[in-house]
Amino acid sequence: MLERETEAQIKQRKAAEREALEYPFEVPTGVGGVTEVAPGVFWTRIPMPMALDHINVYLLDDGDGWYLVDTGLNTDVSRECWTALAAQQFPGLPLKGVICTHFHYDHAGCASWLMSEFDAPLYMTHGEYFTMRALASTNAVVKEDSQRAFFQRAGMPLERFEKMTGSHRKDPFIPDFPPSFTRLRDGETLSIGGREWQVVIGEGHSPEHACLYAADDRILLAGDQVLPGISSNILVSDVEPEADPLSLWLRSLKRLRELAADTLVLPAHGQVFRGLHARIEQLEAHHERQLQHLMAPLKQGEKFTGYQAMGWLFRRELKSIELMLGLGETLAHLHYLCRRGELVRITDDEGLDWYQTR
C-alpha cells in the first residue's frame, strides 16, 4: 500500500523534480515583456484573472510578417497585450497566422478578435475547432441539464451541484467562435522563419491537441501537453462520459518521449525548460501515485462512487470550478483503473455509477 506523502515530503519531491529540469531563461516581466528563446522565437505572457494567473504565448518571426501561438482569454487585457506586442515587435508587418494548440478558453478565447483585428487566418486541428464551435453554440439550459445528470451519476449531491454551477453560470470568457480555420494535420509541417515546424498531435487533455516541433533546432511548442511543475488537466466530462482520457494522454507522452532529450520545451504555463524525458517520467510517476491513492483504501469488493473517491485524491475542500475539475480528474483515473482491470463499474437502478475492486 502506498502511504500518503507528508507536506514536507511533497515539498521535497517537488524541489527534486524542479532540479531535474533546466530553466535557461528568466520569465518575461510586465505587459510587453518579451524574451527571445531562439532566433526569431519570442516568449511573452498574458495575465489571467484566476489561480493560474498567466498563459505563455509565443511569437514567430517570418521575415515579412509573423505568427502567434495561442491567444489568451477573451478579455480586454488580452486585446491590449496583443495590440502592444504587434506595435512593439513587428511594427508595420502583418500577422500571417493565429495558431491555437487547442480549444480551451485561454488558448483560443481571443482568436476571433485577432483574426478580425489583424485580418489573419486561424490554424487549428479539426477536432479542436469543431469542439469549440459545438460548445460555443450549445444552449446553456441543455448544457446545464447534461452536466447535472453527469455529476449526479457520479454521486454528487444535487445541492452541491447547484452551488457549484451557480458560482460560474455567467462565464465572462466564452468566446465568439471563429468563422473559419485552416486545418492542422498530424505529421504535416509549417514553414515559418526558416524552420520546418512539424505538427505532433496529442490526446487526453483535449481532443486533438497540436504541438509544433522544429527538429533541426530541437524546439517544441508544447501547449498544455507537457507542463513543468503541474500536470495537464486530464478530465472526463459530460460531453464524453465514457472516455478514458488518461490512457490517451499517457500514450501521447510516450510519443513525445521519442523527441530529443535536450529539446527546448515551450509550454503554455510555467517556465521554458529543457529535460523533456525527465519531465515525462515525473508526470507518469505522478499519475501512478494518484492511481495507487485511489486503490489503497479499498477492501475487496467495496463499492464507492466517483464523488466519494474524489476525497481520496484531494486533501482540501474543492469549490466552484475546482470541484468540477476535481471530479472530472477523479473519474479519469477511475476509468483508467477499469480499463486496467483493477476496478469494475456497476450502474444501479437509479442510474448511479458504483466502482468496486475485482
Interval 276-326: pLDDT, tens: 999 999 999 999 999 998 998 887 778 999 999 998 888 788 888 899 999
List, as own/partner pairs, every contact residues 121-124 make where C-beta atoms lie below 8 angstroms and the sequence separation is at least 24, other chains included: 121/97, 121/180, 121/181, 121/182, 122/97, 122/98, 122/178, 122/180, 122/181, 122/182, 123/97, 123/98, 123/99, 123/181, 123/182, 123/184, 123/190, 124/99, 124/100, 124/181, 124/182, 124/183, 124/184, 124/210
Q: What is the pLDDT of residues 200-232, one digit of tens each?
A: 999 999 999 999 999 999 999 999 999 999 999
**Predicted local confidence at residue 180, as pLDDT:** 95
At 234-249, the pLDDT tens digits run 999 999 999 999 999 9
How do strand 182-184 and strand 122-125 relate by DSSP bridges? Answer: parallel
Q: Is a pLDDT exceeding 60 seen at residue 168?
A: no
Residue-wise pLDDT tens digits, 252-273: 999 999 999 999 999 999 999 9
- Here the cell at position 117 is 483585428
Domains and CATH numbers, the chain: 7-300 (3.60.15.10)
Mean of pLDDT over the chain: 93
Predicted local distance difference test score (pLDDT) of residue 174: 66
Give the orientation angle of helix 158-166 with respect to helix 321-339, to 10 degrees: 130
In the sheet with 264-267, reading across from the earlier edge strand, the strands are 189-192, 195-202, 209-214, 219-223, 264-267, 273-274
Q: What digits encode the pLDDT tens for the residues 55-101?
A: 999 999 999 999 999 999 999 999 999 999 999 999 999 999 999 99
pLDDT of 139 reads 60
pLDDT in tens, 334-347: 999 999 999 999 99
Return the number of other C-beta atoms located less than 10 Å from residue 220's C-beta: 25
Secondary structure element (H or E) that encloses residue 184, with its range: strand 182-184
The reported pLDDT for the residue numbered 342 is: 95
> Which grid cell sits at 250?
499517457
For the beta carbon of residue 341, count every other beta carbon within 10 angstroms: 8
Q: Scanning the structure block, which residue is given the C-alpha cell 520546418?
A: 196
Q: What is the reported pTM?
A: 0.94
Higher pLDDT, 256 or 358: 256
CA distance 149 to 157: 11
